[in-house]
Amino acid sequence: GQNIDQPTEMTATEGAIVQINCTYQTSGFNGLFWYQQHAGEAPTFLSYNVLDGLEEKGRFSSFLSRSKGYSYLLLKELQMKDSASYLCAVRGNTDKLIFGTGTRLQVFP
């Protein structure tokens, strides 16, 4: 079967760095996405990885290791507005996009 695992909840302090992990087992691999979703709102795209390595985009970076079925999202210089759920999603061999259940991040002052 296909499975995506990520922690349910994490907490961090404003200004700190936090790493949100995602492990996946899918039939094939055609890309991994990270989305941010604030409570009651639609998910918004953060990053995309298809090759191994680190993709950096401002305060956010995403890493992928295809051999390990592993990715992480790194958030630097945390701000209060970063409190949200972070969704890991993988596209396997089919055209379906499989989402993890999301990691709810709470940032405290």
Least Cβ distance, residue 38 to other proteins (angstroms): 12
DSSP for 11-69?
Answer: EEETT--EEEEEEEE-SS-S-EEEEEE-TTS--EEEEEE-SSEEEEETTEEEEEETTTT
Q: Which of 19, 101, 106, 108 binds other proteins (CB under 8 A)?
A: 101
List the interface residues with other proteins, window 27-46 (CB under 8 A): 30-31, 33, 40-45
Q: Which is nearer to other proteins, 13 or 27 (CB)?
A: 27
Q: What span, in angstroms and rounded, lies between the C-alpha atoms of 15 and 7?
A: 21
Catalog residues that contact other proteins under the rule CB under 8 A: 30-31, 33, 40-45, 48, 50, 87, 89, 91, 95-102
